[in-house]
Amino acid sequence: MIEWEVVIGLEIHAQLATKSKIFSGSATAYGAPPNTQASLVDLAYPGVLPVLNAEAVRMAVKFGLSINAEVARRSVFARKNYFYPDLPKGYQISQYELPVVKQGKLAVMLEDGAVKTIGVTRAHLEEDAGKSLHEGLGAGSGIDLNRAGTPLLEIVSEPDMRSAKEAVAYMKKIHTLVRYLEICDGNMQEGSFRCDANVSVRPRGREKFGTRAEIKNLNSFRFVEKAINYEVSRQVDLLESGGTVVQETRLYDSDKDETRSMRSKEEANDYRYFPDPDLLPVEIDEAFIDAVRATLPELPDDKAARFARDFSLSAYDAGVLSASRELGAYFEAVVAELSAPHGGSAGNAERNAVHAKLAANWVMGELSSALNRDNVDIAVSRIAPAQLSGLLARIVDQTISGKIAKEVFEAMWSEGKTADAIIEAKGLKQITDSSAIEGVIDAVIAANPKQLADYRSGKDKLFGFFVGQAMKATGGKANPAQLNELLKRKLGGGAQDA
Amino acid sequence: MLHTLSIGELGRSLDSGQISSVELTRHFLGRIERLNPALNALITLTAEQALATAAAADARRAAGERGPLLGIPLIHKDIFCTDGVRTSCGSRMLDNFVAPYDATVVARLKEAGAVMLGKANMDEFAMGSSNETSYYGPVKNPWDTTKVPGGSSGGSAAATAARLAPFATGTDTGGSIRQPAALTGVTGVKPTYGRVSRYGMIAFASSLDQAGVFAQSAADAAIVLQAMAGFDPRDSTSIDAPVPDYSATLNAPLAGLKIGLLREFFEGLEARNSALIHEALTIYRNLGAQTVEVSLPHLPLSVPTYYVVAPAECSSNLSRFDGVRFGYRCEKPKDLLDLYTRSRGEGFGAEVKRRIMTGTYVLSAGYFDAYYLKAQKVRRLITDDFRSAFGKVDLLIGPTTPTPAFAIGAKINDPVTMYLNDIYTIGANLAGLPGLSLPCGFVDGLPMGLQLIGPHFSEAKLLNAAHRFQESTDWHRRSPPGYER
């Protein structure tokens, strides 16, 4: 049996977050009533001309610098000619032979923790098309040209990915990057970030690529993974049953979870690319590049490395916490607050690492699940970093246990008060007074003579039963370590008596 | 005889209160009413709007405002978008198209106070050399109404020659100002590519199109070009360089001016045409200029190069006319493909379709390198030829056209013969250079043009050389018979 190797390349379309369109002054905001953000230029009226939005170029250069790519000193806009109602000029202005961003590369962490470098062939600027509307218009169709002329950065990868999961990891990494750079809002529901996947298979060990199919317009990470997996099995089935894969464009139907042929290579348009005579070549000099470089934020990989180094976090935790600028900033704020009152002086490295790990666990755990559950963005989290650190401080100083802390967290999330106020109001302060705990333990032992006898005759598992009973009696407030220790002594002490 | 006065003279009469802009406008509207039916030079009249603009100009003048074009009537080629006025581009495709905005050229002349009388007929989408491809029928040459006026700006040229307005706008992609100017005996200026904004000028071949002017003289053209020229942020190919005072240098002496005779232009030139050019050279020598022969070896490749580049660009530029958003739409389209094919099939004329097909072909996969790419390389060689010539001479001189105006119908069914009409004018477009045609005599009772071509941004020098010639000659003062009154 042949072992098949999957080969995937992605073309990601990131909508650039400029205020106005790439060749006109119209706004790019999403969701306006149809055709209210379409100027004469967007409508391709006779006589109008495009004027390049410099901000789009700046954003493209920013991306190029972030993947260590060469920024072209001279790039050229070309016309891609085809007829479609949502393409008012009858051509799309794009970059063809001379893109603004040349070869770059990106390190992507895979699920098993391994890091793989994916090549980025190029990234070029182009304009988006409008949208055809078919619903609620009777027999006819409508066209909304609000999106026509919205700037896109098309990021083309090398065929370097070998599984759907790798493709998703790469796409997520680009997604993280463009949001870090603040050049794309990354909103996939609104189509601000989407991709086409080129998929082929070949017998493992063969150098020559198989014939590829291009799956168009995938707008969620889940769809990318499912569409690629479907397409791989379709191609493998086809080849194993003696068929051949044809080069074609396919569409993914998420309802049926399958890809369908859209058009074959023979039916493909001849786009008749040629340089757009209405636009001058884009000339970029060192000063421009230096100015853009100065605006680069700390990049995700750098931030992750710093988190791992400064906070002794695992590579995995550091990676998760640096997945967005907002998450990283939140985490850092919590750690800073938590460490601040103690001075954070030399010699406290170990304690700081404990704080960081605690903060990491809570940010990635309780906080992230609460944000996800209620669909809240971390930038407007109901619990501010200072509030969360206030809660974690009470764990550190043993005022409450981790278990009680979760209860406090929920109350903070719904009521918005500080941890201290909730602990006070609900009387959740941890019991650390040994004599008080001992009193509770004595009462529990006295009330459960049979279990005591069983335990002492060797049923060690009953230890947990006593812990539970004692905790219940204190409303969960007993310091767990103290409780364990005292209980062990009392139960064991009985055994010594026997 | 208001229609025989220069723009300068009209301005002085307006300033002195001898005439008003309303009177002047009425005078030209009267001429249009009387003379246009035989010429078909204008296809849209804006009489009411013109009188209102004229009244406003009179009020501006009364309020103390002055300006060389304030209250002066003009005619726009129907390729320029005019807010609220039909802008047909000579095509059925845009027969119903009322532009919602003014082209930059239109806006600038409006700002200067010029009064638009109407829109001029033209070859469909500026594709033609005889004005016979217009949806609105051919324009007749006022010198002989059985003859063409040239094209594509044939309506603007005929209207200027017949004195239906003191001046008219035009566009020149391969000679569309200079060739009709020559064939109708007027002065036509095609500026440097990028000197005048293309915004609002319906595109034919974007890398070649340039707006310019038809006038009775170089001195009048200088005044009009002054108002039209300059950087426009809405046209990325317009050039941000200061506009010199074109009128100020009109009388500069020509002593020491080096004029190059293009050897390639004189090879095979008809004897009577050649004789006129040599008479013109004598005048220039008398004015102190030196003449030297120069060669542009790649210039004979201009026509084939042009007929690859221009159709390629037009095939893409005209894709927006799809029956969806504006312009002609076929009756009851069955589906999208039917909407496209019938709207375009019925909306465009034969010459436009021929060029769209040619352009589509030369850009197609497998043919791109052999045609489009090669044409771009030759274009570069032609440009280099001009550059090296301008290292030796200040201006190049030659005929504007190979022959005087030909008969309507004589060449329309033979595209290649028709295309060869532009053999002397196309080079300047390919190299983006300014060119000017001025009347230099008659052959068979029909006017002939002398062409001046200069380096980039040498409009002032071209106008200066043309003006000095016109001070020594009266060819430009001749009026077609029957149009004097």
Q: Report strand pairing: B258-262 vs B395-399.
A: parallel
Average pLDDT of the segment spanning B459-480: 97
Residues 6+ positions from A27 with CB-CB distance below 8 Å: A19, A20, A21, A37
Q: B89 and A46: CB-CB below 8 Å?
A: yes
What is residue A493's predicted lDDT score, i.e. its pLDDT? 64
pLDDT at B351 over 90: yes
pLDDT at B365 over 50: yes
> Residue A391: what residue type?
L
What is residue A335's predicted lDDT score, i.e. its pLDDT? 92
Please state the pTM of the whole predicted model.
0.90
Chain B residues touching residue A274 (CB < 8 angstroms): 312, 316, 363, 368, 372
> Residue A29: what residue type?
A
pLDDT in tens, A115-130: 999 999 999 999 999 9
Task: Quote the domain boundaries for residue B230.
Answer: 2-257+392-477
Chain A residues touching residue B101 (CB < 8 angstroms): 40, 45
Of B207, B321, B327, the CB nearest to A277: B207
pLDDT at A495 over 50: no
pLDDT at B245 over 60: yes
Using a CB–CB cutoff of 8 Å, tell me whether A81 touches chain B.
yes
CA dihedral B300, B303, B309, B314 (to 10 degrees): 170
Concatenate the DSSP letters of all residues of A114-152 into one string: -EEEEEEEEEEEEE---EEE-TTSTTS-EEE-SSTT-EE
Identify whether the C-beta of residue A400 lies closer than 8 Å to the C-beta of residue A425.
Answer: no
pLDDT at B426 over 60: yes
Q: Report strand pairing: A193-203 vs A213-218.
A: antiparallel
Using a CB–CB cutoff of 8 Å, tell me whether B307 touches chain A.
no
Q: What is the DSSP letter of B144?
A: B
Of B200, B236, B313, the CB nearest to A51: B236
- Give the angle subtended at the CA of A25 by the CAs of A24 and A26, to the nearest 5°: 95
Using a CB–CB cutoff of 8 Å, tell me whether A266 touches chain B.
no
Chain A residues 194-233 within an 8 A CB cutoff of chain B? none
Q: A49 and B207: CB-CB below 8 Å?
A: no
User: What is the distance between the alpha carbons of residues A453 and A458, in angstroms, rounded to a whole number?
Assistant: 9
Q: A43 and B325: CB-CB below 8 Å?
A: yes
Helix (H) or strand (E) run with residue B460 in it: helix B459-472
User: What is the distance between the alpha carbons of residues A308 and A318, in angstroms, rounded to a whole number?
Assistant: 6
Using a CB–CB cutoff of 8 Å, tell me whether A140 touches chain B.
no
Helices (H), B201-317: 218-228, 263-266, 271-286, 302-317
What is residue B416's predicted lDDT score, i.e. its pLDDT? 84
Q: Which residue has the higher pLDDT, A150 or A420?
A: A150
Using a CB–CB cutoff of 8 Å, tell me whether B201 touches chain A.
yes
Residue appearing with tokens 């979870």: A257
User: What is the distance between the alpha carbons of residues B471 and B449, in angstroms, rounded to a whole number?
Assistant: 16
Using a CB–CB cutoff of 8 Å, tell me whether A90 touches chain B.
yes
Nearest residue of A to residue B81, measured between CA atoms? A47
CA distance B302 to chain A (A): 19
User: What is the distance between the alpha carbons of residues B11 and B28, in angstroms, rounded to a whole number?
Assistant: 15
What beta strand segments (E) does A236-376 contain?
Answer: 248-253, 258-264, 274-275, 282-283
Identify whether the C-beta of residue A448 lies closer than 8 Å to the C-beta of residue A464.
Answer: no
- Position B307 in a domain: no
Q: A280 and B236: CB-CB below 8 Å?
A: yes
pLDDT in tens, A392-401: 998 988 888 8
pLDDT in tens, B258-297: 999 998 888 889 999 999 999 999 999 999 999 999 999 9
- Of A381-395, B153-167, B361-375, give the lowest mean pLDDT range: A381-395
Beta-bridge partner residues of B73? B115
Concatenate the DSSP letters of all residues of A367-430 into one string: IHHHHHHTT--GGG-SS-HHHHHHHHHHHHTTSS-HHHHHHHHHHHHHH---HHHHHHHHT-PP
Q: A270 and B199: CB-CB below 8 Å?
A: no
Using a CB–CB cutoff of 8 Å, tell me whether B416 touches chain A.
no
Confidence of residue A498 (pLDDT cuts 50, 70, 90): very low
Active site residue B152: yes
Q: A49 and B235: CB-CB below 8 Å?
A: yes
Residue appearing with tokens 């008219």: B168
Average pLDDT of the segment spanning B333-348: 96
Chain B residues touching residue A92 (CB < 8 angstroms): none
- Position B429 in a domain: yes
What is residue A494's predicted lDDT score, i.e. its pLDDT? 47
Residues 6+ positions from B105 with CB-CB distance below 8 Å: B76, B80, B169, B196, B197, B200, B201, B211, B228
List the CATH code of the domain at A434-497.
Answer: 1.10.10.410
What distances in angstroms separate CA B10 from CA B5, B18, B220, B248, B270, one per listed residue?
A: 6, 10, 11, 19, 39
Identify whether the C-beta of residue B321 lies closer than 8 Å to the C-beta of residue B347.
Answer: yes
Question: Residue B388: how many CB atoms within 10 A of its CB?
Answer: 12
Residue B226 gets the label, from left (phi > 0), alpha (psi -120 to 50) or beta, of: alpha
Average pLDDT of the segment spanning A201-222: 95
Identify whether the C-beta of residue A324 lies closer than 8 Å to the C-beta of residue A303.
Answer: no
> Residue B90: what residue type?
G
pLDDT in tens, A72-88: 999 999 999 999 999 99
Chain B residues 71-130 within an 8 A CB cutoff of chain A? 80-81, 87, 89, 94, 97, 99-101, 103
CA distance B468 to chain A (A): 36
Q: What is the ipTM of this complex?
A: 0.96
What is residue A263's predicted lDDT score, i.e. its pLDDT? 80
What distances in angstroms separate CA B393 from CA B258, B261, B293, B298, B454, one per listed residue?
A: 5, 9, 9, 18, 9
Of A48, A85, A270, the CB nearest to B364: A270
Identify whether the C-beta of residue A65 lies closer than 8 Å to the C-beta of residue A36.
Answer: no
Among B192, B184, B208, B206, which residue's Cα sits nearest to residue B120? B184
Using a CB–CB cutoff of 8 Å, tell me whether A316 touches chain B.
no
Identify whether the C-beta of residue B478 lies closer than 8 Å to the C-beta of residue B445.
Answer: no
Q: Where are the domains of chain A?
A: 4-293, 300-426, 434-497
User: What is the distance between the alpha carbons of residues B201 and B424, in angstroms, rounded to a whole number?
Assistant: 24
Active site residue B190: no
pLDDT in tens, B34-43: 999 999 999 9
CA distance A190 to chain B (A): 26
pLDDT at A448 over 60: yes
Handedness of CA B183, B184, B186, B190 (dihedral sign): negative
Give me the numbers of helices (H) and strands (E) for chain A, helices first please.
Answer: 16, 15
Chain B residues touching residue A40 (CB < 8 angstroms): 100-101
Q: A272 and B206: CB-CB below 8 Å?
A: no
Beta-bridge partner residues of B294? B262
- Position B263 in a domain: no
Question: Which residue of B119, B313, B322 to mutate against A (max A Cβ within 10 Å)?
Answer: B322
Helix, strand, or coil (residue B189):
strand
Residue appearing with tokens 């005078």: B27
Among B176, B238, B437, B458, the active-site one is B176
Average pLDDT of the segment spanning A353-363: 92
User: What is the distance between the alpha carbons of residues A435 and A440, in angstroms, rounded to a whole number?
Assistant: 9
Q: What is the DSSP letter of A274?
A: E
On the CB side of B101, CA atoms within 13 Å amount to 14
Confidence of residue A2 (pLDDT cuts 50, 70, 90): confident
Residue B199 belongs to domain with CATH number: 3.90.1300.10
What distances in angstroms separate CA B340 from CA A18, A86, B114, B168, B328, one per listed residue?
A: 34, 13, 39, 35, 11
User: What is the distance between the alpha carbons of residues B219 and B467, in angstroms, rounded to a whole number?
Assistant: 6
Q: What is the DSSP letter of B175?
A: S
Of A45, A89, A279, the CB nearest to B319: A89
- The angle, 0 to 180 degrees and rounded to 10, between the axes of the packed helices A385-396 and A419-426 is 50
Calculate the average pLDDT of chain A: 91
Q: What is the DSSP letter of B352?
A: H
Share of chain B above pLDDT 70, in %: 100
Of B94, B325, B372, the CB nearest to A88: B325
Backbone angles phi, psi at B80, to 5 degrees: -90, 130
Confidence of residue A350 (pLDDT cuts 50, 70, 90): confident
Using a CB–CB cutoff of 8 Å, tell me whether A270 touches chain B.
yes
Among A481, A494, A489, which residue's Cα sits nearest to residue A451? A494
Active site residue B77: yes
pLDDT at B253 over 60: yes
Nearest residue of B to residue A24, measured between CA atoms? B234
Chain B residues touching residue A81 (CB < 8 angstroms): 315-316, 319, 363
CA dihedral B151, B154, B160, B165 (to 10 degrees): -140
Tokens of B291: 């003449």
Identify whether the C-beta of residue B299 lies closer than 8 Å to the C-beta of residue B435.
Answer: no
On the CB side of A329, CA atoms within 13 Å amount to 12
Question: Which residue of B206, B325, B368 to mutate against A (max A Cβ within 10 Å)?
Answer: B325
User: What is the distance between the alpha carbons of residues A332 and B462, in angstroms, rounded to a whole number?
Assistant: 70
Residue appearing with tokens 């938590």: A338
Share of chain B above pLDDT 90, in %: 95
User: What is the distance between the alpha carbons of residues B72 and A251, in angstroms, rounded to a whole number?
Assistant: 62
pLDDT in tens, A252-293: 998 999 999 988 777 778 999 999 999 999 999 999 999 999
pLDDT at A346 over 50: no
> Residue A314: what residue type?
S
Q: Report strand pairing: A248-253 vs A258-264.
A: antiparallel
Using a CB–CB cutoff of 8 Å, tell me whether B372 touches chain A.
yes
In chain B, how many domains are there?
A: 1
Residues 6+ positions from B465 with CB-CB distance below 8 Å: B254, B257, B259, B284, B289, B395, B452
